[in-house]
Amino acid sequence: MSMLQVSGLTKSFGGFTAVDNVSFSVEEGQILGLLGPNGSGKSTTFNCIAGMLKPTAGSVKLAGEEIGGLSADATCRKGIGRTFQIPRPFRELTLLENAMLAAHFGSDGHLSHDEAEAIARDALTLAQLPTDANAVVGGLGAAGLKKLELARAIATRPKLLLADESLGGLDGGEMRQAADMLKRIRDERGITIVWVEHIMGVLLSVVDRVLVLDHGAVIFEGTPREAQQDEKVAEVYLGPPETRAA
């Protein structure tokens, strides 16, 4: 079954079409890498799926149910969790409290304190963060803050996780760990993932399929191996063949 089905998605800002008739689907339990150069429409596509933007046209279905145009909180309660490119946790709250708030946000408000705490501890454990009640946000570096983003998204108990630029600001080793963590979330929890990233790098070793956007349109869809061999993909990332270093 397709967990996510995007059909004819279009988003215009005034007279400018940032996303132009984009269609793709993600099967349950798969990881899709959504790639493309700066300004290619990745964030706009992501935000239309996550309910931060209203599509101008097209359909977004989660497990067969139309969710296009729903608000961000309604989308979350339907089962879409997201991370933000720039982490903005509640710094005055502990890690556990941050994850507990997310657990409440993802539910219909019927979670007890103890249920929210259990979900939050589980999410922090999966993200390899401390679960004790005193652990605070201060002192977390870039990699720690990315982990907290993931913990907060997982605590909403999503069917589909939208991961936004999870590698930004990380060094090589941290990038590998971040990629492995997304894979583990899929492997251990069966959560379907759409991973939006500006750079290809380590992403190709983890995702099942790759979608590449350029100027708001899909220019490639296939396996990571096919992406590495595709001339159109090489062109948007590396420039025309005659300008590339040997």
Ligand X SMILES: Nc1ncnc2c1ncn2[C@@H]1O[C@H](COP(=O)(O)OP(=O)(O)OP(=O)(O)O)[C@@H](O)[C@H]1O
Q: Does the footprint of ligand X cover residue 44 (CB under 6 A)?
A: yes
The nearer residue to ligand X, 116 or 220, going by C-beta atoms, is 220
State the minimum distance, in angstroms, from the CB of residue 84 to ligand X: 12
**Does position 186 bind ligand X by CB under 6 A?**
no
Of residues 5 through 34, those in contact with ligand X by CB under 6 A are: 13, 16, 18
Tokens of 49: 């799926």
Minimum distance between the CB of residue 217 and ligand X, rounded to whole angstroms? 11
The contacts of residue 15 (CB under 8 Å, 6+ apart) are: none
- Total residues contacting ligand X by CB under 6 A comes to 12
Minimum CB distance to ligand X smaller for 44 or for 166: 44
Query: In terms of CB distance, is 38 or 243 closer to ligand X?
Result: 38
Read off the DSSP letter of residue 86: S
Q: Does 36 bind ligand X (CB under 6 A)?
A: yes
What is the C-alpha to C-alpha distance for residues 244 and 109, in angstroms, rounded to an integer? 55
Give the CA distances from residue 163 to residues 30, 88, 243, in Å, rounded to whole numbers and listed in that order.
13, 15, 33
Does 192 interact with ligand X (rule: CB under 6 A)?
no
H helical segments located in the chain: 42-49, 72-78, 95-106, 113-126, 142-155, 172-189, 224-229, 231-238
- Stretch of 42-50, 89-97, 100-108, 125-133 contacting ligand X, by CB under 6 A: 42-50
**Residue 43 and residue 239 in contact, taking contact as beta carbons nearer than 8 Å:** no
Instruction: Give the interface with ligand X as residue ranges (CB under 6 A).
Output: 13, 16, 18, 36, 38-44, 198
